[in-house]
Amino acid sequence: MNILLLGSGGRESALARVIAKSSKTDKFFITPGNPGMKQYGDCVDLKGFDQIGDFCKTNDVKILVVGPEQPLVDGISDYFAEKEDLKDIIVIGPNKVAAQLEGSKDFSKHFMQRHNIPTAKYATFTSQTLEQGKEFLRTLSSPYVLKADGLAAGKGVLILDDLNQAEKELEDMLKNEKFGEASSKVVIEEFLSGIECSVFVLTDGDNYVLLPEAKDYKRIGEGDTGLNTGGMGSISPVPFCNEEFMQKVKTNIIERTIQGLKAENINYQGFIFFGLMNVGGDPYVIEYNVRMGDPESESVFARFDSDIVEAFTLVKDKRLKEYNININPLTATTVMLCSGGYPESYEKNKVISGLDNTFDAIIYHAGTKENADNQIVTSGGRVLAVTCLGEKIQDALDKCYKTIENISFDKMYFRKDIGKDLL
């Protein structure tokens, strides 16, 4: 079966690795891909839905796997579903309506409220209701959580200790378009105190397969300090996601979400990422994403020992309950190697060395490209994800950090404390 994967980051590298391993995969294409992904498939440059659709027809692609959220929010699944000659292609990724679970915080909070899915209390405001928003803030206690409604490249959430500052930021978001159109609506939420984890499923709209859970390390600095990033590392499995906790996740969150989508006639085929807060043993949804996580995927798929393409084919006919998932019981750890300065401004085009001598680590490329001299250079904030498996967290981490000793580029930065809070 011919497959096309959309994306170019660490998450798509992790997906590419498991897709390439499947005995069901014939020709495997990735657009745009990156230099590290060339070992898994053919990287092709396609721009826009029309080019992607034409490419699928010409190359007899049977499955389109969408890595990032933006094309989903922009309606790539609907585009395929509406075209007579594309509608039989299996698209892994939800349609535009369903993608609002990630694309609009207001939509997702309403959805959770309608279906009794545990989440922080909230209210939504616009520039017309700014004063009511400020009043609502005064009824809450510090810290204050403000969320831009739309996609804001992971920067649209503010957590503020001071009420005056929260009122000022609310005004900046609503009146001065701090996050552009994304903050034309703002969700104000009760602050939840606990420890975060990420849970993933693949669903066909009726059934679901639970993937391994993971913990992400979001802040740039050690001890979880400093600015938020896309994620600096990940661990899977997560020790506190025990059977009791995961049973609550399944019953109160995953199943209510899938039943809720179905009840609203929203046909969902693809991954759902539940960003959860464990509050005293009870899971609450912090956010939905309509894709896999990054850098969670790097750890999750390192433990994935089944045929992912078989799962994709079962999605089409809503037969996912027939799928047998095998998960490697070892622990996977991922450490992100970043450009110095990230998540603020950073330099690019730094030559990367040491990519050949990597023991049994998986080196996923996240932000790399090839320069005119055929050297691999940096091209993003998060550059490489180093993933290792081990009996225990410490074993896997030791392997990651040992591997990293051999890799270098100018101003390379990584966190040395990934997973330490779980040891």
Residues 208-236, buried b or exposed e (16+ Cβ, 10 A)? bbebbbbbbbebbeeeeeeeebbbbbbbb
Which sign, positive or negative, has the C-alpha torsion 370, 5, 7, 319? negative
* CA neighbours closer than 13 Å in the CB half-sphere of residue 40: 28
Pick the stretch among 158-166, 240-248, 290-298, 396-404 that binds ligand GLY (CB under 6 A): 290-298
State how far the Cα of 240 lies from the Cα of 238, in Å rounded to an integer: 6
Site string for ligand GLY, 246-285 (x = CB under 6 A): ----------------------------------------
Q: Residue 213 or 294: which CB sits closer to ligand GLY?
A: 294
Q: Which two tokens stand for residue 97?
A: 């309506």
Residue 279 within binding range of ligand AMP, rule CB under 6 A:
no
How far is Cα of residue 329 from the mean position of the Cα atoms in its chain? Answer: 22
The answer to whether 1 contacts ligand AMP (rule: CB under 6 A) is no
Instruction: Compare residues 44 and 157 and give the one whose CB is closer to ligand GLY.
Output: 157
Please pick, from the candidates 78, 106, 204, 216, the single residue that binds ligand GLY as defined by CB under 6 A.
216
Residue of 346, 332, 423 lying closest to 380 (CA atoms):
346
Show the tokens assigned to 163. 């009420």
Write the CB contacts of 108 (distance below 8 Å, at least 6 apart in sequence): 100, 101, 102, 287, 288
Residue 196 or 395 with smaller CB distance to ligand AMP: 196
Q: Pick from 222, 150, 163: which is nearest to 191 by CA?
A: 163
Residue 204 as a binder of ligand GLY (CB under 6 A): the answer is: no
Task: By CB under 6 A, name the one of 67, 275, 380, 381 that touches ligand AMP.
Answer: 275
Region from 205-213, 291-299, 305-313, 391-399 binding ligand GLY, contact rule CB under 6 A: 291-299
Cβ closest to ligand AMP, residue 120 vs residue 199: 120
> Which residue of 167, 189, 204, 294 would you call a contact of ligand GLY, by CB under 6 A?
294
- Contact string 219-238 vs ligand GLY (x = CB under 6 A): ------------x-------
- Residue 189 in the binding site for ligand AMP (CB under 6 A): yes
- 197 vs 254, which CB is nearer to ligand GLY? 197
CA distance 84 to 72: 19
- Distance set, CA 33 to CA 44, 191, 316, 363 (Å): 7, 38, 25, 15
Phi-psi region of 33 (alpha: psi -120 to 50; beta: other; left: phi over 0): left
Comparison of 169 and 287: residue with beta carbon closer to ligand GLY: 287
Could you tell which of ligand GLY, ligand AMP, none binds residue 302, using a CB distance below 5 to 8 A set by kind?
A: none
**Cα–Cα distance measured from residue 68 to residue 291, given in angstroms and rounded to the nearest whole number:** 6
- Chain residues binding ligand GLY by CB under 6 A are 216, 231, 289, 293-294, 296
- Chain residues binding ligand AMP by CB under 6 A are 120, 145, 147, 157, 189, 191-192, 196, 218, 275, 286-287
